[in-house]
A and B are shown apart, each in its own frame.
Chain A
Amino acid sequence: MPLSAISWKEKPLWQRISESSQWGGGGWRLIEWEVSGNSLVVEIAGELDLTCADEFRRVLDSLIDSHPGVARVILCMDRVAFIDSSGIGVLFGRHRRMALRGGTLAIASPSPQAMRALDLLGVPSVIHVYDTLKQALAAEAEVRKCTRK
């Protein structure tokens, strides 16, 4: 499910970094993001390793901090061609960060390469991984429905 076009009303850190070079200074890039319901959906692409782990973390933290109202961050990883333990460490860290404010981090539509690394490091036992973004958003809507009851 493609993310809809969004207007860039402000230029916080994550956007300045993303626009500073084609691949965000490393092997990855932030494609786009949008808020859907209580979720912040972030689409990323490229290669997530030691080269860009610090920047990846800073950009995600900046996005998370600039959206204090969202309960969940969904990372769309279908265009992530490579991720190693440096990149996965950033995911665990953002999961903890979201948990500290009562939220969660989820992963949607990981590429086969990304899923292989996620499986090997036991990520699905800690972080929800959905086959598609649609499923991830539906799960979030279900949670909200149950919460209202």
Chain B
Amino acid sequence: MHAKVNHAKVEFDAIPGNLGFARVAAASFAAGLGFTVEDLEDIKLAVSEAVSNCIIHAYPGPGEARPTVLMVMEARESEFVVSIEDKGIGIADVAMARKPGVTTDSERLGMGFTLMEALADQVDVKSELGVGTRVEMIFSPERGG
């Protein structure tokens, strides 16, 4: 376990207009941690996929509460950890959802988790029906692509 040396937390509405903000915020936080420009682009892409999943899948219908996404960023001694969390409907079968091409929408590729796994060193998904989903991704500057 690496010691936490810095962290930031942002909560925003689960709307597409916040996608750009989320990925730029994550890349900005990670910028001082030894990542290359290409690494930061990978972080932006992975965060975009995770937040898109929240917006598309977590809140399918009108609810009483305002749909939000919580993004927590941590700088550890040799890695950047970002978690994307929603309080939506949850995922019934996380293992199935992580498979390539699995989607509930015919207009989507269903490749979000596949991309996250290709881009991050480690992806952890925890979900509970009716409670929400939390995706944690770990990036290391030494991963060498």
In contact, B108 and A85 (Cβ under 8 angstroms): yes
The answer to whether A85 and B111 touch (CB under 8 A), given A49-B48, A50-B55, is yes
Looking at A70-78, A112-120, A128-136, the stretch in contact with chain B turns out to be A112-120
- B107 to chain A: which residues have CB within 8 Å? 89, 93
Question: Could you list which residues of chain A lie within 8 angstroms of chain B, going by C-beta atoms?
Answer: 27, 47, 49-51, 82, 84-86, 88-89, 92-93, 112-113, 116-117, 120-121
In contact, A116 and B38 (Cβ under 8 angstroms): yes
Within the complex, which residue of B52, B55, B56, B118 is in contact with A120, where a contact is CB–CB below 8 Å? B118
In contact, B45 and A117 (Cβ under 8 angstroms): yes
The answer to whether A84 and B38 touch (CB under 8 A), given A27-B20, A89-B109, is no
- A93 to chain B: which residues have CB within 8 Å? 107
The count of residues in chain B whose C-beta lies closer than 8 Å to any C-beta of chain A is 24
The answer to whether A116 and B41 touch (CB under 8 A), given A85-B115, A89-B107, A89-B108, is yes
Q: How far is the CB of A147 from chain B (nearest CB, A)?
A: 32
Residue B63 CB within 8 A of the other chain:
no
For the A-B complex, the count of residue pairs with Cβ-Cβ distances under 8 Å equals 58
In contact, A85 and B109 (Cβ under 8 angstroms): yes
The answer to whether A86 and B111 touch (CB under 8 A), given A116-B38, A116-B42, is no
In contact, B19 and A120 (Cβ under 8 angstroms): no
- B55 to chain A: which residues have CB within 8 Å? 50
In contact, B109 and A92 (Cβ under 8 angstroms): yes
Q: How far is the CA of A120 from the CA of B118 in the complex (A)?
A: 7
Smallest Cβ-Cβ distance to A54: which chain B residue: B107
Residue B49 CB within 8 A of the other chain:
yes
In contact, A49 and B20 (Cβ under 8 angstroms): yes
